[in-house]
Amino acid sequence: MSVEVLQIAEIPVSFTSEIDLKKIISADKFESYQLFRLNLEAHKLSLLPAFDTLLALNLSRGIVPFEHQINSVKKLLGRFRGRGMLCDEVGLGKTIEASLAMLELITRGLIKRILILVPPSLVEQWKEETFFKFNLEFITSDDKEFKSHGSGAWGKFDRIIASIHTAKKSPHADAIKQEDFDLIIIDEAHHLKNANTVGWKFINSLKKKYIFLLTATPVQNNLEELFNLVTLVYPGELGTLKSFKKNFISAGDRLTPKNYEQLRSLLGELIIRNRRATSDVKFTRRFAKTIRIQLSEKEKALYESVSDVVRSQYKGSPQQVKMALRILQEEIGSIPPAAVSTIESLKDKLPDGALIDGLIEQCNHITFSEKIKVLIDVIHKTPGKVIVFTKFRASHAVITAVLEKHGIRYSPLHGGLTRHEKEKSIKEFQNVSKALVATDVGSEGRNLQFCNHIINFDLPWNPMKIEQRIGRISRIGQEKEVHVTNLSAKDTIEDHILYLLDAKINMFELVIGEIDVILGRLDEETDFETLIMDTWTKSPDMKQFESEIAQLGEDLLAAKQKYSTLKDTEDKIFGDQFNTTASEKTASEGAEDEYRDS
């Protein structure tokens, strides 16, 4: 094979400084340097791939999104143009979807100022998820640095996570309304279902380019709630409330839709909802057992003495003292050493100092714990590795000392460790240790699915905290059956909480996230811990407390049954989300221009 070589003639080129471009090109053809730079940046943006290619996938850390999550992000950013409702069923990763979409917009230079509003209990969780999984640093409204700037903090920081309960109140609300945000994300958005509330009106008044609403239950009591949520994102898309009622709500039953095929078609253009039944997410089975422990006579006497003090002093005490008394009641449900520090702190706050001295003396006389004995036995009988969870640092210290005494190799994990020390401890647990002894604070943001056994040495009163513990191992990526062992002392508050959560609503069999939905249906205004504490302190004796707990159990059961009925209604309304179509892809490819226009 021969190759013909072409000779190109040399072309003479000469340069001269005598040419004056201003004379050749008319003055009205020149533009400023600022406009040149703007034009250059616009051309750079035009070279970026459309939203059918997600740049953020290569920037996240330690996550492998499922197909339904990637499709949801593409739809949210492309077809929905950055304003949408993520309404996946519980457990399918709405937080992952919202965070991926946020990171995508940041990466493309389309957003800078971000406000994330969540329930109080989720503020720290969101901060850690966005940092550990997406390398995004946020400041929370609870941080000292944030508070030091007063109301001006809302305008000073570009990435803020705050409790919606804090944000909607004065003076915060007034300051936030003055700000322009590129993106607002609202988690558990079903709390905004009533358009007459302060929360709904507050969110509706905020200045934002893009907004994501996250909720697994866009419908809870009636279809008007769905209308109100959609209106926050797409004002006017469902018409007026009057016309919506006329067209889509059955007379006499505000939860049953009519013309639901038409409604489903309409909502398909406004809401993203994936279902577990049709997704590719699979979870391994979960097994739970509770070991009820008989306290020693000394431990039982101390528990009753502390409980009597809490009951007698709680009502009428200042809020700070009430908080200390509640913590004390939880601590004594762990082991006596956990309660010593709080008891001592109450000496100057309660009128009867001699009573407090008596409690301290009782604590000091207890040198043995039945619960510790059972813990050691369970660890020895557990095959493979095990995570021991406790809420209190004092309990953590006792547990680790006993494990060391029995020759059980352990790794510690608590909030007092640096980030480097935590990583080292987890790596040691993964490779050599039998047990990881962790507090809730120390384990936040950690994925520990290489282990499949958990022991709850003590039990948080907040069921979501229990769920978060389980979620450290019962999550995407877990390949083995998950086993949860709860240690519970008989005739304690924790014993009754376990009865409520396990016997009444089978909490340990629920999908991670469902318990929050059920508790929300129980009482949106009062958290579960407060319900328990109020019941405990208002009951004159254990018999009355058991009666009140039984009624609370029936309320929980009714809330769970209503939740199950609601899921059937939602299936009728939403149906199965369809896959990305050709028209969706076309919309995605053209979405970049619409972002620039906005």
How do residues 422-457 score in pLDDT, each as one tens digit?
Answer: 889 999 999 999 999 999 876 666 778 899 999 999
CA distance 502 to 286: 13
What stretch of H or E contains 288? strand 286-293
Question: Looking at the structure, do residues 350 and 383 belong to the same domain, yes or no?
Answer: no
Name which of 231, 279, 270, 340 is nearest 96 in CA terms. 279
Name which of 470, 479, 484, 480 is nearest 515 in CA terms. 470
3-state secondary structure of 18: coil
Q: Cα-Cα-Cα-Cα dihedral of 152, 156, 157, 162, to 10°? A: 10
Among 252, 281, 310, residue at a domain's last position:
281
CA distance 248 to 560: 26
- Write down the pTM of the prediction: 0.69
Question: Looking at the structure, do residues 228 and 185 belong to the same domain, yes or no?
Answer: yes
Question: Looking at the structure, do residues 416 and 481 belong to the same domain, yes or no?
Answer: yes
CA distance 234 to 210: 11
Question: Looking at the structure, do residues 158 and 241 belong to the same domain, yes or no?
Answer: yes
Among all chains, which residue has been given the structure tokens 């095959």?
383
Question: Looking at the structure, do residues 404 and 344 belong to the same domain, yes or no?
Answer: no
CATH code of the domain covering residue 255? 3.40.50.10810
Question: Looking at the structure, do residues 414 and 462 belong to the same domain, yes or no?
Answer: yes
CA distance 48 to 53: 9
3-state secondary structure of 326: helix
Which pLDDT tens digits describe the chain residue by residue (598 residues)? Answer: 555 655 656 777 776 666 666 666 666 666 788 888 888 877 776 676 677 788 888 888 877 888 889 999 999 998 889 999 998 887 788 999 999 999 999 998 899 999 999 988 788 889 988 998 899 999 999 899 999 999 899 999 999 999 999 999 989 999 999 999 999 999 989 889 899 999 999 999 999 999 999 988 888 778 888 899 999 999 988 889 999 888 888 887 777 778 878 888 888 888 898 887 777 777 788 899 999 999 999 999 999 999 999 998 998 889 999 999 999 999 999 999 999 999 999 988 888 778 888 898 898 888 889 999 999 999 999 999 999 999 999 999 999 999 999 999 999 999 888 878 888 999 999 999 999 999 987 666 677 889 999 999 999 998 878 888 888 888 777 889 999 999 999 999 999 999 888 888 888 887 766 777 777 666 666 678 888 999 999 998 888 999 998 898 898 888 888 877 777 777 777 765 433 333 343 333 443 343 333 3
Instruction: Provide the pLDDT for residue 580.
Output: 38
Q: Is the preceding peptide bond at 257 cis, omega within 30 degrees of 0? A: no
CB contact at 8 A, 101 and 79: no
Among 246, 281, 316, residue at a domain's last position:
281
CB contact at 8 A, 413 and 435: no
Instruction: Provide the pLDDT for residue 37.
Output: 85
For 575, left (φ over 0), alpha (ψ -120 to 50), or beta? left
Question: Looking at the structure, do residues 521 and 555 belong to the same domain, yes or no?
Answer: yes
Question: Looking at the structure, do residues 336 and 391 belong to the same domain, yes or no?
Answer: no
Beta bridge partners of 412: 437
The burial of 8, by beta-carbon neighbours within 10 Å (0-12 exposed, 13-18 middle, 19 or more buried), is given as: exposed
Beta bridge partners of 286: 482
Tokens encoding 102 = 């946020």
The burial of 19, by beta-carbon neighbours within 10 Å (0-12 exposed, 13-18 middle, 19 or more buried), is given as: exposed
Instruction: Provide the pLDDT for residue 589.
Output: 40
Instruction: Provide the pLDDT for residue 469.
Output: 87
CATH code of the domain covering residue 416? 3.40.50.300
CA distance 544 to 541: 6
CA distance 203 to 235: 13
Among 281, 303, 328, residue at a domain's last position:
281
Name which of 304, 383, 394, 292 is nearest 340 in CA terms. 394
Instruction: Provide the pLDDT for residue 23.
Output: 67
Instruction: Provide the pLDDT for residue 598.
Output: 37
Question: Looking at the structure, do residues 192 and 122 belong to the same domain, yes or no?
Answer: yes
Which residues, including other chains, have CB under 8 Å from residue 51's CB and lie 6 or more apart? 74, 77, 78, 104, 588, 589, 591, 592
Neighbours of 426 (CB within 10 A): 21
Residue ranges making up the domain that contains 151: 55-281
